[in-house]
Amino acid sequence: MAKTVSSCIACGQPVGESWILGCRDLYLGTPYVVNYGVCQACGLIQQVPVPVDTGTFYPHDYPMHLERGPLFSLARKLLIRGVYFEPGADLTGATLMDFGCGDGSFLQSIQGKVGRRLGFEASPTQARLVGEHLGCAVHSSLAEAEAALEGSVDIITAHFVLEHLTDLHSVFRCWNRILKPGGIVHLAVPDIRSREARLFGRCWHGLDAPRHISFPDRDSMAELTARHDLRITGSRCGIFPNTWAASLATALTGRYRHALFLGFIPLGFMLACLFPQSTAIYTLQKDG
């Protein structure tokens, strides 16, 4: 069988099947099996081949699109640290877009902390539901967002979104166009080169095959920002116990089990505090 080669979705150079093969959907149980390769030019790890359509990877009851209750919000405040953007007192007049806003829980949590809240969600149905629930504009088209918001956004947040995208350049181009000069992007992405990812391999919850298409790191992020007049101004790790807890549950039983995940959360929190490597946080800025 001939070796499959794709082009890197960050720099365009060839990517071969050389990282991890035969990755099943251990989270939602869809029938897809995917392979990941690494770009030798910029280091991006991505699916090979890159799927043309990812819509069938997401069932109608995709958990990130379902509204969650106050207990989830409390757990996120107590256990997840340094991952989600926290508006300071100086941003009460700012315009913030949450890109890939999912169920809208982050936008809801910052009500009153920024001047204007906006969202982006690729599913038109989900965008409409979140917009109606929160009473704010939620876009579902990059072209529509660019036309409506050009040069007017102070902050873009993208929490665990970049890894789902097949066209990174279109998104970075949109971000550049809608940001004000000096505006920032706050990114949270799983770090596939972390100790946690190496420990669990195909059972690592951050892999989330087939929905996670690529895993940008600092080198591939630098490639993307340089092409779209953005620059990296900061990078660090956040404390995210979910991947530890879910990976332990998956490794123990062969697939994700929600009850086990909940049971492992206290241990996952301790491990995430000791080894805060699984989630990388980047701050990007548009040049003024």
Tokens standing for residue 30: 């869809």
The pLDDT assigned to 153 comes to 98
Distance CA 58, CA 65 (A): 10
Is residue 153 situated within a structural domain? Answer: yes
Tokens standing for residue 148: 């409506």
The pLDDT assigned to 2 comes to 40
Is residue 238 situated within a structural domain? Answer: yes
- Residue 226 CB contacts under 8 Å (≥ 6 apart), including other chains: none
CATH number of the structural domain spanning residue 281: 3.40.50.150
Domain count, the chain: 1
The pLDDT assigned to 5 comes to 59
Question: What share of the chain in percent tops pLDDT 70?
Answer: 95
The pLDDT assigned to 1 comes to 32
For residue 71, give its domain range.
Answer: 67-203+220-286
pLDDT tens-digit readout, 83-135: 999 999 999 999 999 999 999 999 999 999 999 999 999 999 999 999 999 99
User: Residue 260: phi, psi to the nearest 5?
Assistant: -65, -40
